[in-house]
Amino acid sequence: MNDGTFPEISMFILGIKLANRNFLHFEDVMTPPPADSAVRTFFPLEHPIPSYASKSVHSRLFSTAKMALHSADTSKLIFAPAGHQATGQAEQFTKGTLVRSQLNPTSPIPQFHAWFSRAQENDSGVDHPESCTLSTASLPSGRISSRTVYLKELDNRGFVIYTNLGTSRKAADIATNPRAAMLFFWESLQRQVHVEGRVEKVSREESQTYYDTRARGSRIGAWASRQSQVLEPQGDDDDGRKQLEGWVKEVEKRFEGQEKIPVPEFWGGLRIIPDRIEFWQGRESRLHDRFVYEREGEEEEWTLKRLSP
């Protein structure tokens, strides 16, 4: 009850008693005590609890429940991490819905562009809508690697990111298995987009056009870094950083006084040409809205289907 009368205190005391168990079910806390329980004589009915005390009881009761939702097995470093609700349970997804009539039936690109544009708006709560997780896998081992990258371009052909094409792990993976997956997660909008497809290099001209938009230090860095290679310490007081800084100085000297810097031959764009794109909108009780576009080849038509959450 929330009217400030004694049953709430009864529930709190019961919660304290039950909290001593190894496991506490939230339903137990909310079960009122028997009618003949001595607990019910703690406060006479005619003495309502002051509002500040009621709030304190409510806070302590639900704090007990929050802790009790977690496993008593101390070997688990993380178990069912809770959200910010008083119950200790994760938040529900309630910010939107997605229905088939909202989607373009012939291509997923307009829908992605619409969602991306929404994520870019000032009130979206999304700091970097262009950030995504790019996953690749090497063959024949099948070992998967993932990293966060920035989407830099989108057109009707696909999604473009830029990277070191010579020494990076993603480049090595793609050399053996030219496919990749991208995952965009816009938490504040409770939305995800999952992209899968074939990977191809963009032209040197396209890479130069993007490269020219980068800050000078970033252009120098693209030349200097042997991405993913081990940096060797230069002494007892160094962990390898000095080697990288030495390479940077060499490149700075090479292009000193030169504003127009050519894009390195080992650096450029990768285009993920999608054959599968899934749109995910969080819904209450984990009954999410999921729609997937698929096609067999780049010249084939897209199909659109709803998936079970």
State the chain's mean pLDDT as an integer: 83
Provide the domain count of the chain: 2
Displacement of CA 129 from its chain's centroid (Å)? 11
Q: Are residues 125 and 71 in the same domain?
A: no
Q: Are residues 106 and 74 in the same domain?
A: no
SS3 307: strand
What pLDDT is stored for residue 26 in this prediction? Answer: 36
Q: Are residues 192 and 266 in the same domain?
A: yes
Give the largest Cα separation in the chain, rounded. 90
Q: Which of 91, 109, 142 is the last residue of a domain?
A: 91
Domain of 295, CATH number, reads: 2.30.110.10
Q: For residue 207, what are its two tokens? A: 């890479």
Q: Are residues 119 and 198 in the same domain?
A: yes
In which band, very low, low, confident or very high, does the pLDDT at 85 lie, cut at 50, 70 and 90? confident
Burial class (CB in 10 A: 0-12, 13-18, 19+), 122: exposed
Does 227 map to a domain?
no
34 to 3, 6, 13, 37, 40: CA distances (angstroms): 20, 14, 13, 5, 9
Q: Please check the confidence at residue 206 and state whether its pLDDT lies above 90.
A: yes
What pLDDT is stored for residue 76 in this prediction? Answer: 86
Q: Which residues of 98-110 are buried (b: 16+ CB within 10 A; e: fewer)?
A: beeeebeeebbbe
What pLDDT is stored for residue 47 in this prediction? Answer: 45
Nearest C-alpha neighbor of 167 from the set 225, 111, 119 = 225
Does 183 map to a domain?
yes
Does 18 map to a domain?
yes
Within 13 Å and on the Cβ side, how many CA atoms surround 299? 0
What pLDDT is stored for residue 69 in this prediction? Answer: 59
Does 246 map to a domain?
no
In which band, very low, low, confident or very high, does the pLDDT at 87 lie, cut at 50, 70 and 90? confident
Q: Please check the confidence at residue 60 and state whether its pLDDT lies above 70.
A: no
Q: Which of 65, 91, 117 is the last residue of a domain?
A: 91
Q: Are residues 17 and 161 in the same domain?
A: no
22-26, 83-87, 136-140: which is most confident: 136-140
Range of the domain at 122: 100-212+260-307
Return d(Cα 185, Cα 191) in angstroms, integer: 6
Mean pLDDT, residues 193-213: 98
Beta carbons within 10 angstroms of residue 90's beta carbon? 13
Q: Are residues 141 and 274 in the same domain?
A: yes
Q: What is the pLDDT of residues 114-155, one digit of tens each?
A: 999 999 999 999 999 999 999 999 999 999 999 999 999 999
Q: Are residues 15 and 148 in the same domain?
A: no
In which band, very low, low, confident or very high, does the pLDDT at 231 lie, cut at 50, 70 and 90? confident
Does 132 map to a domain?
yes
Mean pLDDT, residues 286-299: 94
Lowest mean pLDDT among 178-182, 203-207, 224-228, 290-294: 224-228
Catalytic residues: 286
Q: Which amino acid is at 239?
A: D
Mean pLDDT, residues 175-179: 98
Q: Is the Cα dihedral 152, 153, 157, 158 positive or negative?
A: positive
Q: Please check the confidence at residue 179 and state whether its pLDDT lies above 90.
A: yes
Does 181 map to a domain?
yes
Q: Are residues 145 and 46 in the same domain?
A: no
Nearest C-alpha neighbor of 19 from the set 60, 47, 78, 76 = 60
Between 34 and 217, the more confident residue is 217
Q: What is the pLDDT of residues 240-291, one digit of tens each?
A: 899 999 999 999 999 999 999 999 999 999 999 999 999 999 998 999 999 9
Q: Are residues 57 and 114 in the same domain?
A: no
**pTM, 2 dp:** 0.74
Q: Are residues 201 and 58 in the same domain?
A: no
What pLDDT is stored for residue 67 in this prediction? Answer: 43
Q: Are residues 201 and 143 in the same domain?
A: yes
Does 135 map to a domain?
yes
Q: Are residues 83 and 119 in the same domain?
A: no
Does 21 map to a domain?
yes
Q: Which of 69, 91, 113 is the last residue of a domain?
A: 91
